[in-house]
Amino acid sequence: MPADLWSFTLDFYARPGVEQACLRLQDEGADVCLLLCGVWLGKRGVACTPQRVDALVALAGPWQADVVTPLRGLRRQWRTAAQQDSALADLREQLKKLELQAERQLLARLQQLTREWPIDEATDVQDWLRTLCGPQACQEHDALQRLCAALEDAGGQA
């Protein structure tokens, strides 16, 4: 398992079904960066506690609201028009790259926040997923199960 959160995220996101599950959860309001951080923490054995969840949410919430979500919203808003306008399509691709950079920065900040949290305390990644998915997104049982299955396929505990 990659030691840093960004490398883990790239590896995990590339597993079969993970991207689709994450996009489904995102459409239901989940913060996918938080979910992926939770999977990473759970796989490392970091115990899911209310204080840790609160710290993650407090860090991620403003960054998502002020940086990632506006970029994503504009990129999505331009989807249809960009199919007819190559210049707009190029700008939309630049937005997509900027959105990814913003998510990478958020993951770096989340990793920094968690650097002192003890590992090998817990074995249940699902605690993190259930806690971080949000009430609406938690209804997407299939998507959450896909994330757990991808972890099991990778040799992790879910």
**Could you report the per-residue pLDDT of 106-118, keeping only the tens digit for each?**
999 999 999 999 9
At residue 157, does pLDDT exceed 50?
Answer: no
pLDDT, one tens digit per residue, over 38-64 is: 999 999 999 999 999 999 999 999 999
Selection from 96, 105, 90, 123 nearest residue 33 by Cα: 105
pTM: 0.90
Residue 133, CA distances (Å) to 43, 49, 98, 144 in order: 17, 15, 24, 9
What was the pLDDT predicted at 155? 62
Q: Binning pLDDT at 50, 70 and 90, where does residue 135 land?
A: low
Q: Domain coordinates of the chain in residue numbers? A: 5-153
Q: What is the sign, positive or negative, of the torsion defined by CA atoms of 46, 22, 34, 15?
A: positive
Q: pLDDT over 90 for what percent of the chain?
A: 70
